[in-house]
């Protein structure tokens, strides 16, 4: 770590828990100490000592157009000149709502909030209020923000209620959460049979991206849609990461599944803090002031976040950039697979669109159990080697990488060459 980064970390450790404001930034999973960023542009970041790196974290997904694209920074500047926050309705939040409802078939009404955590928390509250039921099904490895009732892991069996996976969360907060293995339809069926007329909804990342990245098996999402309809429960897609990244309509459009409620974030803020949740009008009308389910936020629909998000979404829509992202992703996948094969490493490389990750394991990875077989020490060495080569990957074996439209073919080839060098040295 650079001298200035070390100085900043020392200061931060005195005043910020762990020296960071989000745990993964601390590099605990990969060893060493984090560097501090001074600026970012396009596909690159520069630390406080001026070292340049190709970035595949992209502020954890929002930077789909690259860092600080002119179209977004200009929108932010122009909007800020008219005021940074009102706490009063503004035209931009209406434009954002109309755009989302127009392009995401499942969403007839949408409400803005300030983070993905707020979006998932609120969607669950709406599901419970609409159905009059208490229990929620979630899946191992699917992270939905730091919501008390969702910070759980599976117990001794598929039907065991979750136990808190974080200090400060009472057991009673998770007693209504059922945690199941992803990609296992029989476990879902058994949970519904064991809890008749008690399950309000099923929430999941349609493409889990917080335990590494793994894909839904053919028919799994379709089964969830069928079983929730059969039992009168709501299907909730957490598309905070996948929304407007895997296509303009998100994962639900890519897979052809229509959920009852959807949660968004990341890209719809253009890199600024934002979240949203939406669905059928009959469900969303349960929200106050029209219904009994309360949800509010002083900064919800913040004009700067709305302006940045609208600029990003319109750029994606007007120039149909998803084919470019797919091509860059395929180039990276082919190159990294070839590099692993040449160097004799057992690697499971997963990619969908512009999202990707690498598991150092011989086992096929379809859920959290498979992801946990990945060699964490080997990943840490790979991460540090890539960092030395000027490539910044997510500092955890259980996170996802992101490509942007700013990543050139040259960037990707440089990354492949670096990976070949590092893998050969492991």
* Alpha-carbon span 289 to 282, nearest angstrom: 14
**67: DSSP letter:** B
Please, what is the angle between helix 303-319 and helix 70-80, to 10°? 150
What positions carry a catalytic annotation? 143, 238, 266
End-to-end Cα spacing for the chain: 21
**374: DSSP letter:** S
Q: How far is Cα of residue 68 from the mean position of the Cα atoms in its chain?
A: 20
201: β partners: 136, 234
Are 28 and 397 in contact by the 8 Å Cβ rule? The answer is no
Dihedrals phi, psi of 113, to nearest 5 degrees: -145, -160
Please, what is the angle between helix 409-425 and helix 376-388, to 10°? 130
**260: DSSP letter:** S
Residue with tokens 């180039």: 331
* Alpha-carbon span 125 to 133, nearest angstrom: 10
Residue with tokens 């970041």: 45
* Alpha-carbon span 422 to 343, nearest angstrom: 10
Alpha helices (H) in 163-255, listed in sequence order: 171-174, 185-194, 220-231, 251-255
Nearest 10 degrees: Cα torsion 106, 109, 111, 115? 10
Alpha helices (H) in 208-302, listed in sequence order: 220-231, 251-255, 281-284
Dihedrals phi, psi of 70, to nearest 5 degrees: -55, -40
Can you give the length of the chain in residues?
426
Short-list 68, 70, 78, CA closest to 38: 68
* Alpha-carbon span 37 to 48, nearest angstrom: 6
């Amino acid at each position: 770590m650079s001298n200035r980064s070390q100085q900043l970390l020392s200061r931060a450790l005195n005043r910020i828990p762990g020296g960071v404001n989000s745990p993964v930034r601390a590099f605990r999973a990969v060893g060493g100490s984090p560097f501090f960023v001074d600026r970012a542009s396009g596909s690159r970041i520069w630390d406080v000592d001026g070292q340049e790196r190709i970035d595949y974290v992209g502020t954890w997904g929002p930077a789909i157009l690259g860092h600080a694209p002119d179209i977004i920074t200009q929108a932010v500047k122009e909007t800020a000149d008219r005021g940074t926050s009102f706490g009063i309705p503004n035209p931009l939040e209406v434009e954002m709502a109309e755009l989302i409802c127009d392009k995401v078939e499942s969403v007839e009404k949408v409400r803005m909030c300030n983070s993905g955590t707020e979006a998932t928390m609120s969607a669950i509250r709406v599901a419970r209020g609409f159905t009059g039921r208490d229990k929620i099904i979630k899946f191992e490895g699917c992270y939905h923000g730091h919501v008390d009732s969702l910070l759980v892991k599976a117990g001794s069996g598929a039907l065991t209620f979750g136990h808190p996976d974080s200090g400060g969360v009472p057991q009673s907060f998770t007693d209504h959460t059922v945690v199941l293995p992803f990609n296992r339809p029989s476990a879902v069926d058994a949970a519904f049979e064991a809890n008749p007329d008690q399950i309000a909804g099923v929430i999941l990342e349609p493409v889990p991206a917080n335990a590494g990245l793994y894909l839904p098996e053919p028919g799994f999402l379709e089964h969830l849609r069928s079983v929730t309809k059969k039992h009168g429960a709501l299907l909730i897609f957490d598309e905070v990461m996948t929304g407007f990244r895997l296509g303009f309509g998100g994962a639900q459009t890519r897979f052809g599944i229509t959920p009852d409620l959807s949660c968004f974030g990341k890209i719809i803020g253009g890199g600024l803090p934002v979240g949203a949740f939406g669905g059928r009008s009959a469900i969303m009308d349960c929200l106050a002031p029209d219904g009994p389910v309360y949800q509010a936020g002083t900064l919800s629909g913040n004009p700067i976040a709305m302006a940045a998000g609208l600029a990003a979404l319109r750029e994606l829509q007007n120039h149909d950039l998803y084919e470019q992202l797919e091509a860059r992703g395929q180039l990276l996948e082919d190159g990294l697979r070839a590099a692993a094969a040449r160097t004799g490493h057992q690697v499971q490389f997963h990619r969908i669109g512009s999202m990707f990750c690498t598991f150092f394991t011989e086992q096929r990875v379809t859920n959290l159990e498979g992801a946990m077989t990945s060699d964490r020490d080997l990943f840490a060495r790979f991460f540090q080697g890539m960092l030395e080569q000027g490539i910044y990957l997510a500092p955890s074996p259980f996170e996802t990488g992101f490509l942007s439209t700013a990543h050139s073919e040259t960037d990707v080839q440089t990354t492949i060459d670096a990976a070949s060098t590092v893998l050969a040295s492991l």
